[in-house]
Structure 1
Amino acid sequence: MVYNVTDGLGWCYVAYCNASCKVEVHSSSCPTTPIPSTTASSTTAVLSTTTKPTVSTSVPPITPTSTSTSTPSTTPTPDCSDVNPPRKNGESWKTDNCTTATCINGTVTISTCPPVQQPICANGRQVVEVYDDDGCCPHYDCQCVCSGIGGSHTTFDGKTYSFSKNCSYYLVKEIITKYNLTIIVNYNDCDSSDTFCSQALIVIYKSYMIVLTQLMISGKATNVVYVNQKQIYPAYSNSDLRLTSTDMLIRLEIPEISTTVVYRGTSFSIDLPNSLFGGNTEGQCGELPDHLTPDPYLNPIQ
């Protein structure tokens, strides 16, 4: 209802806003009883009265309710001002080696290492857990080990074969040089007494030549190590190499490329990371991780 008035001459006028937002005016003779204005039923009673068709009415001007049509302002995305130093929305930063913080709409969220799935190793070996350079987030890598004892060899992909020629030949050689690693085995003829017959490993890495071999000292076969033609006595380490030994073996570790070589005089093992050398090796240890059986006469040096 817009208004409900009388002209003082016995006629009442009621105006309503209809469903189409138009003002409808109804006129009728005023009842002798005052019109209650508190209930809908009394209002209906007024409208049900016969309307006087010839009455001219003057509708008072209707002032529409003021509405705001201004364009809504764009609210800036909140930054993270509670941290020190303050961070912008979307900015990420390291809180320590293992967690990363990100500002998202004014809230700091913390994320840790992503989940990783264990691979299925093509060579049938078990996977090993390897950590990133920061020592935090681990990932899985396949064990890629080449080994030999006497004339029997086991390649990176798990194949075995025999080869015991008196010569030097490549065990591991990069097809495309990336890490400057080459490993050579050298079989020597037995001495005249036929009691001492050894194999020597030559590991070439960067500017180093490491020779792992055996010498007869006081009638006993003894493991010895040479680095760039100078004998060293493990434990020994520098910025690139780490050498340790026991009475039975010598262990060479190259941390930068996660490579380990173990020498026992008549046997050896070479452990390379698949993530660095996969598909890029040739020689008696074969190519990893493909299932390739190496040719025993592949890449002889002499």
Structure 2
Amino acid sequence: MARCIGGNKIEIVPYECPAMEPVTCANGKDPVLVYDYYHCCQHYECDCKLGQSHFLQAISGYYNKLYLLIYFDFIVCIYTLHLHTNIIYFCFFQAFKNEDVENLRLPYWKDGVKVMSTNINLVLEILRLNVVVKFGRTGFSINLPYKYFGGNTQGHCGTCSNNQDDDCRLPSGTVAENCGVMADDWLLKKDEGKIGCIPKRTPPPKPCKQNPDSVCELLKDPSGAFAECHSQISPDNFYKGCVFDSCYVHNRAVECTSLETYAAACAEIGICIDWRKYTNICASNCPSGKIYKSCGPADQPSCEDNPNDPVMNYTTEGCYCPEGMKLFSKESNICVKSCGCLDPNGKPREFNETFEYKCQACVCDESTKTVICKPKTCPPTALPKCIYPGFVLVNQTDPSNPCCNVHVCQCQSHACLDINMNCDVGFMPNISVPEGKCCPESTCEPKRVCVLNDVEYQPDSSVPGQKCKNCFCSSSSSSGGLMEIKCEKQQCKETCRRGFEYKKPNSDDCCGTCVQTQCVFIVNGNETLLKEGETWSPPENKCESKTCVKNGETLTVTSKQIICPAFQESNCKNDTIQTAANGCCKICVEKEKACSLVSRTTPINYNGCQSELNMPSCEGSCVTFTKYSEAAGAMEHSCSCCKE
């Protein structure tokens, strides 16, 4: 060592390095060999790895429902980077610069800070300080070199020391017995202009039964995916955290955090484990065209790589281009076999490759590494003449060359003239567009009807015809036009029903008629005939009668009912009862005539209507006497007259 002793004199003294002592890192990482302040001697130090395990330890004493929004601010030089991720639902990664609303376009590199994305992890590296921050889909981790951060961290992430017993340190400097008590003392205050947190301390969770479908057992499976790493890094603590998540977190995907963290720890010592293929809920789900790698460069190779640019010397799992391919650019996320250009549709093109884009002839220019396009030229075309009505000359795309236009005769209905829709009786208009033409044409086609004197008749219907002939509209057409009218000689019916006689036609008539000659009526279901003026009575009842009467040209039957006068056999002399001449009423020779009821037939005329009525009357002797009444002591008289 050189030491200034004054008088512009320097004293050179030997600098002896202390013996290097082995160090065991409490976090399981291998110790790193670092130089001392004078960059002369080396010794072992344990870099710090902070991550989600510290948060789980801090919240395990007051756990209720785990909804963590991890929020980090990295103040680098004159600007601030914000990295956000939702560790429960791992829906998105976000990186903001200062207070900008829009996300940073990744990869981002400025002032010694680099931010990369592998589709699974978001990685930030501060090159000068060797700080690496990794955000996974379900967790995060921070690697800090001890020489810069030893004893300089506190809060939920714990302290950067080779001693995990002081991770639950309070702001006062004392160490809490329970990390759950410590957690509420490191809450972000709202008055600091941040999001702010609300303390919610609850009793420690009770022991629970692990989910039978939990993926946690993969960590300790002696023949499983992680078996190769068991001898180097114990999976016990990771298993405990996984079981905790399986018990108390409703989202099964959070169990992947412990497996992801253990796989990352194994990768740091050179053991790469392709563990995601053993489970469905932790699958990589790489986009199309990308493959999953458990250990790959955070800074993926691309066509834009510059050997002078700083390289992020950090490996992580992610979605990478297949072997033999690289990213076209850091931002494109498109894998190509050879570097060239991207056309406007985002399709890779090789140098000097020619292609067509929106009617332009394009080429991937190797000197400028850009796509250069020139408009395509179209050959001259002749103008056609439109002959038929309705065709109009229009400009349209050439079917054989979509990039060029041609003039064609195009049918446009508004250019057509009105057509005549009138047809003769029995015909209807038929509108059609002939092949090769534009405008509709009308023709009159016959209907399925007959026409007579400008009147249409339907098939099988009657049609007025010649005298003594029956005409009808047939359902056939011999000429293919209107239906034909056919006529037949009228057949006269000369058979008449009972009571009528057939009368031959006059010279002006086609057929004779049936003329009525007798009255017809039904008796007990049988037809009975009566000539004009003839009367008929049923044998069992002579009081009724029917008479055939002529009324104009019609013969009709009139009925008559005889009403007999009152008849008392007690007034008759023996063997004198007999039927009257009308065959209906009974008469006899009466005993002494006393006062009795007598009925006589009396004619009645009223307004030309004549009828006969049985009018009752009283006839006979009445009792008349004069005698002495002893009771009255005088003569009694009895005189009466016969009354109705």
Give the TM interval when normalised to the shorter protein: 0.3 to 0.5
TM-score (ref. length: structure 1): 0.41
Larger radius of gyration: 2
The higher relative CO (CA closer than 8 Å, separation ≥ 6) is in: 1
TM-score (ref. length: structure 2): 0.21
- The structure with the largest helix share of the pair is 2
- The structure with the largest strand share of the pair is 1
